[in-house]
Structures are given as C-alpha cells and as structure tokens.
Amino acid sequence: MQRLGEGHRQVVLLSLEGLAHAEIAEVLGITENNVAVRLSRARRELRDLLAAEGGSQ
C-alpha cells in the first residue's frame, strides 16, 4: 500500500473503511466517477506490484 500514489492510497483506505463511493467523493472533494477511476487504477497498480514481487521468487 505504501508504494501506491497518495490519491490512490486515500481512496483505497477509505473504501476499506467501508465508505461508499459517494462518501469517499465527499471526503476527498472529487466526483464519484473519479473515485471509481482511482479505485480501478489502484487495484491494477496493486496487482502489478504483487505480480512483480511474486515473479522475483
């Protein structure tokens, strides 16, 4: 998680706390669509990071 960009990390952490997209958008002052985009990109980034770490073993 620490290797994610700040914007992605914030959205992921708020999502893990159980906030809905609308609530995350309000907290961060962004649109719900932007929340969805950031979550999607963060998941992809995490998946790539985990795959890279797993591939080095």
pLDDT for the residue 41: 95
Tens of pLDDT, residues 15-57: 999 999 999 999 999 999 999 999 999 999 999 988 988 865 4
pLDDT for the residue 55: 62
Whether this prediction's pTM lies above 0.75 is answered by yes
10 Å CB burial of residue 2 (0-12, 13-18, 19+) is: exposed
CA torsion 8-12-15-21 (nearest 10°) is: 20
pLDDT for the residue 9: 94
